[in-house]
Amino acid sequence: MSKLTLGAPSAARPFPKNFCWGAASASAQVEGAADEDGKGPSIWDVFARRPGAIKHGDTPAIACDHYHRFREDAELMARLGLKHYRLSIAWPRLMPNGAGTLNRRGLDFYSRLLDALLERGITPWVTMFHWDLPQTLEDKGGWPTRQVADAFADYADTIVKTYGDRVKNWITLNETSVFLDSGYGLGRHAPGRKEDFATVHQGFHHALLCHGHGVRAVREHGGAGARVGITDNSRATTPVRETAADIAAAREAFARENCRVLEPIYTGAYGEVYRHHTKGWLPKIAPGDMELISAPTDFLGLNIYTGEFVRAGADGRAASVPVPEHYPVADSPWLRWNARALYWGPRLAVEVFGAKEIVITENGAGYDETPPVNGEVNDLHRLEYIRACLGELRRGIGDGVPVTGYFAWSLMDNFEWAEGYARRFGLVYNDFQTQQRTPKASALWYREVIKANALV
């Protein structure tokens, strides 16, 4: 019988040199200070006042109080060994009315935050829009109206001109389909509207125009070395058996499931797959729109937490595979464990849409964790899931998938939108009464991964 050496570490799997390791957050989820220093209301500030809109009546008013504690938080990031931090700018903090007058105190806040990061050797990645639309723009009709894109063009120019000396990595929008489907179709997210298909999808077109303006702004004002991409929550269709037939089915399903955002961006048209999805319906398109939307980007940001399993059906076409009852799921019911999504999502984005470089801009798991015991939060559930995801990401890189970075969602527990504060995604536990931050086991483990640049 061969002798086992218990406790011996398995061989470390190194990541490429200069791989970007980071954590992510978003303005409305961490900043708080919702009506301080001249900030205007966002649709989430207003939606949170609606009875029953958010679990336990939570609101983003204070969140992690990051607005006042950003220096300590930057210090915490440095202690955790983070090299990159993805944050977003709150549009209504800079432009309380969505357009026009600039709020100097809002501008100064992000300036101080960026400096605090750079002083600690942390590279900022800035998302221009992560769901906190100025309420004034919603009052004029919101995403279904084209004025949002006009206002965004000015906003994007302003932030790139202001921060372009310190920010070289820009992300235009976060998860277009979530803020439109959930906010304007299902009514579960701000602003809580339940519109018809055409209204929601006209909103998609305007969001894609914003993406185009974001790219244009970075090209015009970003300066040397500036890079830009969009972050998409692409559905990572995963072939159950990884046979040629199942892989072909996953490819077909990937094209279909992600046609609303990736097809127009990568092909410059609402093509065959899109029109099949919309049964021939097309948004109102003005001359020049498609050129703006499809201007080349530098990377594609993917937020991948899970993915749907597919296989080739009897006719060879993609068939979705229902997940059995006993399959592991996080406390967020949509988050079924599927680490292989981190292999297939990036690979199919390259194969189907021709993405040249992929950055995982979010990955993690949400649980309703209880407070630290003796100063520790033993979140092995999250640690093991992230470890499995990184293993699959590493497999893809080994197979030639051009993934250059990974951001854990999230730096710390925060305002999880309609789920409020109970649902925790952080590497760091946050006590929302005292604002005390406690790194969880996953954060301490992640620090070792970053240090070794390898799955240790």
String of DSSP letters for 211-224: HHHHHHHHHHHS-T
Q: How far is the CB of 129 from ligand IFM (least distance, A)?
A: 12
Using CB under 6 A as the binding rule, whether residue 19 contacts ligand IFM is answered as no
Q: Are 297 and 357 in contact (CB under 8 A)?
A: no
Q: How far is the CB of 207 from ligand IFM (least distance, A)?
A: 15
User: Toward ligand IFM, which CB reaches closer, 252 or 416?
Assistant: 416
Q: Is 175 one of the catalytic residues?
A: yes
Site string for ligand IFM, 22-41 (x = CB under 6 A): ----x--x------------
Q: How far is the CB of 448 from ligand IFM (least distance, A)?
A: 24
User: Toward ligand IFM, which CB reaches closer, 29 or 169?
Assistant: 29
Which of 264, 255, 262 is CA-nearest to residue 300? Answer: 262
Q: Measure the CA angle with vertex 117, ends 114 and 119; round to 5°.
A: 105
Q: Are 88 and 129 in contact (CB under 8 A)?
A: yes
In whole angstroms, give the CA distance from residue 419 to residue 226: 35
User: Toward ligand IFM, which CB reaches closer, 175 or 379?
Assistant: 175
In whole angstroms, give the CA distance from residue 371 to residue 377: 7
In whole angstroms, give the CA distance from residue 441 to residue 456: 15
Q: Give, as ranges, the residues between 419 and 448 that touch ligand IFM (CB under 6 A).
A: 425
- First CA to last CA distance, the chain: 28
Rg (C-alpha) for the chain, rounded Å, is 21
Of positions 202, 273, 416, 420, contacts ligand IFM by CB under 6 A: 416
Q: Give me the residues paired with residue 126 across strands.
A: 87, 170
User: Toward ligand IFM, which CB reaches closer, 257 or 362?
Assistant: 362
Q: How far is the CB of 117 from ligand IFM (least distance, A)?
A: 20
In whole angstroms, give the CA distance from residue 142 to residue 130: 15
User: Toward ligand IFM, which CB reaches closer, 186 or 295?
Assistant: 186
User: Toward ligand IFM, which CB reaches closer, 252 or 379?
Assistant: 379
CB-count exposure of residue 97 (10 Å: 0-12, 13-18, 19+)? middle
Query: Which helix (H) or strand (E) element contains residue 278?
Result: none
User: Toward ligand IFM, which CB reaches closer, 212 or 366?
Assistant: 366
Size of interface with ligand IFM, in residues (CB under 6 A): 9
Q: How far is the CB of 9 from ligand IFM (least distance, A)?
A: 31
Looking at 138, 195, 308, 362, which residue is catalytic? 362
Q: How far is the CB of 226 from ligand IFM (least distance, A)?
A: 24
Backbone angles phi, psi at 75, to 5 degrees: -65, -45
In whole angstroms, give the CA distance from residue 255 to residue 236: 10
Q: Is 362 one of the catalytic residues?
A: yes
Tokens of 216: 């244009």
Contacts of 356 (CB under 8 A, 6+ apart): 298, 299, 350, 402
In whole angstroms, give the CA distance from residue 92 to residue 102: 10
Site string for ligand IFM, 375-414 (x = CB under 6 A): ----------------------------------x-----
Say whether 358 sits in a helix, a strand or coil.
Answer: strand
Q: How far is the CB of 85 from ligand IFM (least distance, A)?
A: 15
Tokens of 110: 């992000």
Q: Give, as ranges, the residues between 246 and 285 that touch ligand IFM (CB under 6 A).
A: none
Tokens of 167: 């920010």
Q: Give, as ranges, the residues between 122 and 181 that touch ligand IFM (CB under 6 A).
A: 175
Specify the amino acid at residue 137: L
Site string for ligand IFM, 52-71 (x = CB under 6 A): --------------------
User: Toward ligand IFM, which CB reaches closer, 362 or 392?
Assistant: 362
Q: How far is the CB of 333 from ligand IFM (least distance, A)?
A: 11
Q: How far is the CB of 414 from ligand IFM (least distance, A)?
A: 7
Write out the E strands in 244-298.
none
User: Toward ligand IFM, which CB reaches closer, 137 or 171?
Assistant: 171
Q: Give, as ranges, the residues between 297 and 356 that touch ligand IFM (CB under 6 A).
A: 303
Instruction: Please state whether 98 falls in left (phi above 0), alpha (psi between -120 and 50) or beta.
Output: left
Of positions 232, 246, 308, 362, contacts ligand IFM by CB under 6 A: 362
Looking at 31, 138, 175, 252, which residue is catalytic? 175
In whole angstroms, give the CA distance from residue 25 to residue 48: 19
Q: Which residues bind ligand IFM (CB under 6 A)?
A: 26, 29, 175, 303, 362, 366, 409, 416, 425
**Residues annotated as part of the active site:** 175, 362
